[in-house]
Structures are given as C-alpha cells and as structure tokens.
C-alpha cells in the first residue's frame, strides 16, 4: 500500500508554486540533467540560467558550461549564459577564504548566484526561480533554500521553489542520465578554495591532484591517478640514479 502511494507520487507531474514559467539556475550538467528531464516530463515551461562565477579555473568553468549547454540544446531548452564575473565573486567572499565547505563562504556564494538569478527573473517576467544546486548530496539543502528565498524576497510576487530534487528517486536518476549522456564529472565543488581543500585531502591520501577535463560519467576511466603515481615513482627513480 505504502509502495503504491509512493509510486503514485513519483509519477505525478511537478507543479510550479507560482506563475507559468520557471527560471532554473543551473550549476552543471550532472546536477541539472534529471531536473531538466523531470520539468520536461511535467510540461513546465522553463529556461536555464548559467551564472557561476565561483568556478575556477577558467578551463573548468568552460567545461562545465559547455556540457550544460550541450544538453539544453539537445532538449531544446533556452539557455541564458551570464557573465563570468569572477572578480566580483572574489570580492564578495573576501575574508572567508578559509571557511570549510558548507560554511559561511558557501552562503555568500549561493547568495551571489541567486541574487543574479532573481534579478534576471524579475527583469524577464519569471515569477518562480529555482536551482539545481540542491541536487548534490554534498550540499546543505537548507542553506541553499535560505539563500534562494532571500534572493526571491527582493521582488514582489517572486517565489523560490524549494523542491527537493534528490527525493523520489532523483539522486539515482541523476547518476543514470549522467552516464547515459557521458557528462563531464567534476571532482570538486567549484571555487579555488574547494579545489585547494580537495587537493589537500587527496595529497593526505597519497593521491595526485585533480586534473581538469579527464573524468566523464559512463566512460571507461583512464586511470590517470595510477599513471601519475607511476610517473612520480619513475621520476624519483631517475633522480636517485643521477644522485648515485
């Protein structure tokens, strides 16, 4: 009985909390793939907005954006590409560089991205905004919703949709679509500080630092980590021979 009820909920179409079109802030293709599919399944008119000046370095930013654009084009969804105004992002988070992930630096980062989303929504007639950021299990859903709601509250009649995209099988579907589409698989949240902290963690485990643009969902992995370790060992061996 419970199973049937849950199943029924899963297949019900999604309903917007306000208005008839949605502005969806997207952080990357893997987080937005299933969300986009679900919105299409529900017949919701939506536009993707890509505004992520936090992503560092530029190569990683381009990789994430291009993957997202590729899937939007495939589904025929309008894609708004806003500025990579990274200088403003660095100004905004100044003083909080050493905060841990999910700390205050992240609140500032979400605030900045959602404020820009809400402004664009206000200027272009969207009364509901939302984000794919909450799809990742690494994120604090309440922290994201708080930033989204604060940004929407700047404009009359604008609503931030707090829908939990992980529920109802969303987390699994996110992986499934990422594999089907062979999306680029990023290995850190996005900013230079998350890259720093992730690389430190990897070094503590004896692993090589992240390389950009090498991992894709569903593609056989070139084991670049093993390759890097072998190269390192080889170099150490060469140096040792020279020393002798």
Specify binding-site residues.
Answer: 27-28, 106, 109
Applying CB under 6 A, the residues found at the interface with ligand SF4 are 54, 101, 105-106, 109, 189-191, 193-194
Nearer to ligand SF4, 140 or 176 (CB): 140
Minimum gap (Å) between residue 92 Cβ and ligand SF4:
10
The CB-of-96 to ligand SF4 minimum distance in angstroms stands at 8
Q: How far is the CB of 112 from ligand SF4 (least distance, A)?
A: 9
Distance CA 179, CA 244 (A): 49
Nearer to ligand SF4, 65 or 122 (CB): 65
For the record, the structure tokens of 108 come out as 């500032």
Binding site residue list for [4Fe-4S] cluster: 27-28, 106, 109
CB of 189 to ligand SF4, least distance (A): 3
Nearer to ligand SF4, 56 or 163 (CB): 56
């Amino acid at each position: 009985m419970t199973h049937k009820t849950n199943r029924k909920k899963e297949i019900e179409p999604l309903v917007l909390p306000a208005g008839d079109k949605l502005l969806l802030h997207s952080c990357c293709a893997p987080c937005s793939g299933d969300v986009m599919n679900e919105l299409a399944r529900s017949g919701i008119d939506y536009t993707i907005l890509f505004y992520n000046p936090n992503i560092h370095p530029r190569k990683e930013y381009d990789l994430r954006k291009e993957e997202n654009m590729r899937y939007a084009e495939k589904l025929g969804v309008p894609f708004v590409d806003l500025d990579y105004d990274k200088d403003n992002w660095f100004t905004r988070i100044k003083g909080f560089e050493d905060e841990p992930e999910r700390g205050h630096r992240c609140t500032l980062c979400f605030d900045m991205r959602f404020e820009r989303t809400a402004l664009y929504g206000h200027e272009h007639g969207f009364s509901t905004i939302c984000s794919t950021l909450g799809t990742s299990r690494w994120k604090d859903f309440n922290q994201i919703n708080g930033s989204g709601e604060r940004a929407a509250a700047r404009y009359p009649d604008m609503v931030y949709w707090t829908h939990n995209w992980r529920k109802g099988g969303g987390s699994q579907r996110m992986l499934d679509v990422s594999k089907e589409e062979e999306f680029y698989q990023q290995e850190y949240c996005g900013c230079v500080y998350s890259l720093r902290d992730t690389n430190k963690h990897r070094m503590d485990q004896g692993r090589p630092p992240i390389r950009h643009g090498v991992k894709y969902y569903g593609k056989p992995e070139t084991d670049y980590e093993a390759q890097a370790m072998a190269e390192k060992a080889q170099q150490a061996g060469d140096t040792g021979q020279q020393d002798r």
